Structure 1
């Protein structure tokens, strides 16, 4: 007669599987130790880390050119809305009757899908502007994302100028594209097509963002997400990049130093719009707790909250002086918005995302939309 398997609660069964559990725990501990060593080294050597990530990305492109193609994820430059009301009725001074109206190209930021434009796009279309949108692999180096825009620039008709509107990192991408590719100072343009008629930077960290300091913990958090929340394809994540953009966003990064030192063409006007919090948002505190909980580190929780308290003190001091520095919009401080040679930022009350997009349908119009349209009209 064949022997029966001992029940799960049997002492023999527990002894048999105890070594297996021990090996699993040891493997998990080893994984955490390797991750800690890597993240510690990366924090001390950001330039070397970026070079290594870029090298890996290049090698994957060589090995799997079709699977790594951004076209697989719907990336590119495409028309989002024509210059007309939702009813289809053309506006006075819009569409083909008013070629003097520049086209708009909207450029989203890091890990931000196109929904950030759900309120702005129809508003500027109703104001008579034709709206285009760039979607790109946004976790790669910002210089590569600018090269991606250059690659697709020919999709735009060249019968009128284009105004770029970049949210967050999208503003840095736009600066890189204009100053290196389309209108480099004292150099020939590296890409032909429609000229740039202006740049509006919305919540753009021109001097870097302290949130980039959290990139290593956010990456760890991704590794422990439920399978149901993961991307359906390994290559879908790799196509976005290997985290080079988060390194570029760090204050004082090599990318930002080079970008801020590069001359800007006088023919392209610039404007900056930012936001400030009137109080630290509860969602921000909750997100810090979620990161620490998913990584499973009480020490991390204490460090994140200490960092948050430090920024909150800056927020309180800034509000008392009417400046709103410190936390700024929750991701970018007011000080980081500023850029030499550009007028002082227009500051609205809001947060990094909600200054452009409503959380709920019955929320008021996001506060950054009106100054954006006013700036467009002033350039007209």
Structure 2
């Protein structure tokens, strides 16, 4: 059976350079073959999948405007293939080749009793793809109801989160800051992307927001972990903060890098696997399309990013403060037992002794980050130091406990860093904020 030429509208919707819909009636089968190209990174456009399937089954389903590429090759590709099968259901056969994804669509699909169910599947995949794409690329600086532009009685503090987190990580700190009389704004960003991109987004959002509300007063910045690097790039980069930062508080900053960042790909894979298995489609689409953890690479000691940012001196016009934790995941005794075992292996490795000793040497910096007294489970005390800035205040707390992150602390409670934070804010602002006595109105 000869295939009819596509209409002008379908050529615009479905570029033939990317895929083809071939009717196999001449072979006697009842399937339509829909082929979508896999890109050089081993990923396929979900928008093109939706568009092709909608066209081949005569469904008026709008492809997601905000597209993403789903991996179908490699380790992450195994999860992507499972997610695609779950999303399309058993009615559509799927074959994966080196260069394409082939969808075998039954001729009857989209007709009669199955029409509404099939349309609903395509609609859900389109909407969840758009939601996932928006979630993955979203970055914004948002005001809390407590924020008051240009109000000397309500100083503003901007919170910047770290890796594998969001502004929700400050959920237990925000009420304490607001009750003390501070207005709060938060900055959220895709924490898996290159740090250069995150730094630029912070600079742009900071400046655009302040201009939009006519803000003339300077703000404080409180940043956790990797967020300190994002804030430092603005304060120490071109313009040196433009005189609009009057206090900079870093909690467990990764100023000299963190070796545990090497574990980020493993943590990512665990999170993605959980999302796919639990059928949390939007989360799975967002995380699978992110690709490898670029920010984790930038945080490794000696990275090009760290060399560049540490080449600049601290901004002398801004008061710096650092808090570090030294409550790790390993006790000193547990670490010694582990090192003794590693030493025993190295001594008995025979011809592989040199390789084993190299491996032992690479493990030692990670143990520093995980051990009581030297690290907080993610960052060493030493790594929080920054030449030209004050010495860190060291507290007996782990990386999450320093901000009482809900990852480990679901309920409100005392935040160990708060006495220091409030003291520094008072000193740097040169005045006492007015404690909030009544709920503040919403900000448009």
What is the CA deviation profile of residues 15-68 of structure 1, one whole-angstrom value per residue up to 9, with x for unaligned ones? Answer: xxxxxxxxxxxxxxx956x99xxxxxxxxxxxxxxxxxxxxxxxxxxxxxx889
Native 8 Å contact 2:369 2:379 kept in 1: no
Give 1:203-352 correspondences, 5 Å limit.
203-222=252-271, 224-225=273-274, 226-228=276-278, 230-232=280-282, 236-237=286-287, 242-277=292-327, 280=330, 310=364, 314=368, 324-325=373-374, 328-352=375-399
SS in 1 for 2:237: helix
Cα shift at 1:237: 2.9
Q: Distance in 2 between matches of 1:239 and 1:81?
A: 33
Q: Distance in 2 between matches of 1:129 and 1:241?
A: 38
Cα shift at 1:229: 6.0
Q: Distance in 2 between matches of 1:217 and 1:116?
A: 21
Q: Distance in 1 between matches of 2:304 and 2:258?
A: 14
Distance 1:108 1:272, change over 3 A: same
Distance 1:134 1:182, change over 3 A: farther
Cα shift at 1:113: 2.2
Give 1:114-129 correspondences, 5 Å limit.
114-129=167-182
Residue 355 (1) aligns with residue 402 (2): yes
SS in 2 for 1:347: strand
What is the CA deviation profile of residues 296-337 of structure 1, one whole-angstrom value per residue up to 9, with x for unaligned ones? Answer: xxxxxxxxx989984697489x86xxxx22xx1110000000
What is the CA deviation profile of residues 167-214 of structure 1, one whole-angstrom value per residue up to 9, with x for unaligned ones? Answer: 000001000122224427xxxx6xxxx711121110111000111121
Show the counterpart of 2:166.
Answer: 113
Show the counterpart of 1:155.
Answer: 209
Consecutive unaligned residues in structure 2, runs of 5 or more: 1-72, 79-129, 336-358, 430-444
Show the counterpart of 2:235.
Answer: 178
What is the CA deviation profile of residues 113-155 of structure 1, one whole-angstrom value per residue up to 9, with x for unaligned ones? Answer: 2221111111111111110000111111111111111221221
Equivalent of 2:415, from 361, 366, 378?
366
Of Structure 1 and Structure 2, which has the larger fraction of its residues in helix? 1
Distance 1:312 1:332, change over 3 A: closer
Report which of the two structures shows the higher radius of gyration computed on alpha carbons.
Answer: 2
Of Structure 1 and Structure 2, which has the larger fraction of its residues in strand? 2
Distance 1:69 1:333, change over 3 A: same
Q: Distance in 1 between matches of 2:205 and 2:258?
A: 28
Residue 379 (1) aligns with residue 432 (2): no
Q: TM-score, normalised by structure 1?
A: 0.62
Q: Distance in 2 between matches of 1:313 and 1:240?
A: 29
Show the counterpart of 1:80.
Answer: 144
Show the counterpart of 2:221.
Answer: 164
Comparing 115-124 with 235-244, greater Cα deviation is found at: 235-244
SS in 1 for 2:203: helix
Native 8 Å contact 2:131 2:282 kept in 1: no
Native 8 Å contact 2:136 2:287 kept in 1: no
Show the counterpart of 2:88.
Answer: none
Show the counterpart of 2:155.
Answer: 102
For the aligned residue pairs, the C-alpha RMSD in angstroms reads 3.8
Q: Distance in 2 between matches of 1:108 and 1:314?
A: 23
Consecutive unaligned residues in structure 1, runs of 5 or more: 1-29, 36-65, 84-94, 286-304
Native 8 Å contact 1:68 1:235 kept in 2: yes
Q: TM-score, normalised by structure 2?
A: 0.54
Q: Distance in 2 between matches of 1:127 and 1:31?
A: 51
Q: Distance in 2 between matches of 1:218 and 1:278?
A: 19
